[in-house]
Amino acid sequence: MNTAPADVDESVRALLATATRRLASTADSARLDAELLLAAVLGLDRSALYREPERRLDAASRARFLQLLAERARGRPIAHLTGQREFWSLRLAVTEATLVPRPQTELLVELALVCIDADGRRDVLDLGTGSGAIAVAIAHSRPACRVCGVDRSPGALAVAARNLRQLELRNVSLLECDWYAAFGARCFDLIVANPPYVESADPRLDAIELRHEPRLALDGGSDGLAALRHVVAGAPACLRYGGTLLVEHGAEQGAQVRELFGRAGFVDIDTARDLDGHERVTRGGLAG
Ligand code: GLN
């Protein structure tokens, strides 16, 4: 006879119900979060949880799940707890050393791919590559391209290197470097960047949403535009004539970023909106 009270039941169904209640006040996706953590502990896909709701966890798995749950309740991102995140339908390794790849950054990838024919041999530079998400997505979709990912964080580059190995991508190289510091002459056809663009005083940096991610990848200085200014101003020297620059930026920064592009000599400047309707990615071309 099972005399255990419901809240210490070890079945998948009962643990998910308890976990969802516990996360309800801290996460707006409590049920999904609980499923992702439990699936990670069991080494299963989320859908498997629904096939086996009565499956019972052993003590070690249950303890591990409750520990992850407590950390999630303190705000640690799911991707850091499971060590992975899907981006552009690719499974990427992610750690505390990198920004968690966001769905909105897939817009940048989408626009980058528009600039490159399916078998186009182009040289692409991804500035501040972090986990390598953008570089990996472009290299995977455009195997003839040579993509170079740079970052000044060795911890982030280690994660990017792991992703290249896991996905067996041979057309990406990585370089520890501060923005353009290693590049002198015009050598790229496309430059992409998701630089830090949050204002230093934005309370989100210290709040639950962002405090677990590296400040280096988020803090864009007092007006949020410091890195964007540097990236846009430095691009023409490293872009071949006819090349393109694409940058992600904050929802309110579109007009200022277009102005930076204009001042740097770019033409055909245009901003695309993300799925929430916010201005998110600006592109410009260098006249040929
Ligand atoms: N999109 C992120 C956020 O506001 C910021 C990313 C960045 O600074 N590059 O949550």
Q: Tell me what pLDDT residue 208 has.
A: 81
Q: Tell me what pLDDT residue 8 has.
A: 55
Q: Tell me what pLDDT residue 6 has.
A: 44
Q: Tell me what pLDDT residue 153 has.
A: 96
Ligand 1 pocket member 102 (CB < 6 A): yes
Cα-to-centroid distance, 3 and ligand 1 (Å): 49
Atom of ligand 1 at shortest distance to CA of 197?
8
| Digit-coded pLDDT (tens) for 220-237 | 999 999 999 999 999 999
Ligand 1 pocket member 64 (CB < 6 A): no
- Give residues with Cβ within 8 angstroms of 286, minimum separation 6: 235, 236, 239, 240, 241, 242, 243, 244, 245, 265, 266, 267
Label residue 263 exposed, middle or buried (CB < 10 Å: 0-12, 13-18, 19+): exposed
The pick from 104, 126, 134, 198 for probing ligand 1's pocket by mutation, whose C-beta has the most ligand atoms within 8 angstroms, reads 198
Residue stretches of the chain with pLDDT short of 50: 1-7
Atom of ligand 1 at shortest distance to CA of 99?
6
The pick from 87, 99, 129, 246 for probing ligand 1's pocket by mutation, whose C-beta has the most ligand atoms within 8 angstroms, reads 99
Ligand 1 pocket member 196 (CB < 6 A): yes
Ligand 1 pocket member 218 (CB < 6 A): yes
Q: Tell me what pLDDT residue 3 has.
A: 42
Task: Give nearest CA residue, ligand 1 atom 10.
Answer: 210
Ligand 1 pocket member 251 (CB < 6 A): no
Cα-to-centroid distance, 234 and ligand 1 (Å): 21
Q: Tell me what pLDDT residue 255 has.
A: 98
Atom of ligand 1 at shortest distance to CA of 105?
1
Cα-to-centroid distance, 236 and ligand 1 (Å): 25
Q: Tell me what pLDDT residue 142 has.
A: 97
Computed on alpha carbons and rounded to an integer, the radius of gyration of the chain in Å comes to 21
Atom of ligand 1 at shortest distance to CA of 224?
8
Q: If we measure between CA atoms, which residue out of 157, 143, 33 comes closest to residue 95?
A: 157
Q: Tell me what pLDDT residue 4 has.
A: 43
Q: How many CB atoms lie within 10 A of CB 2?
A: 6
Ligand 1 pocket member 197 (CB < 6 A): yes
Q: Tell me what pLDDT residue 1 has.
A: 40
Task: Give nearest CA residue, ligand 1 atom 5.
Answer: 218
Cα-to-centroid distance, 220 and ligand 1 (Å): 10
Q: How many CB atoms lie within 10 A of CB 204?
A: 12
Q: If we measure between CA atoms, which residue out of 231, 278, 254 comes closest to residue 102?
A: 278
Q: If we measure between CA atoms, which residue out of 32, 161, 140, 162 comes closest to residue 88?
A: 140
CB 115 within 8 A of CB 162: no
Q: Tell me what pLDDT residue 209 has.
A: 79
pTM reported for the whole predicted model: 0.91
Q: Packing angle between helix 30-42 and helix 59-73, nearest 10 degrees?
A: 140
According to DSSP, the β-strands at 172-176 and 188-193 are unpaired
Q: If we measure between CA atoms, which residue out of 42, 40, 36 comes closest to residue 11?
A: 42
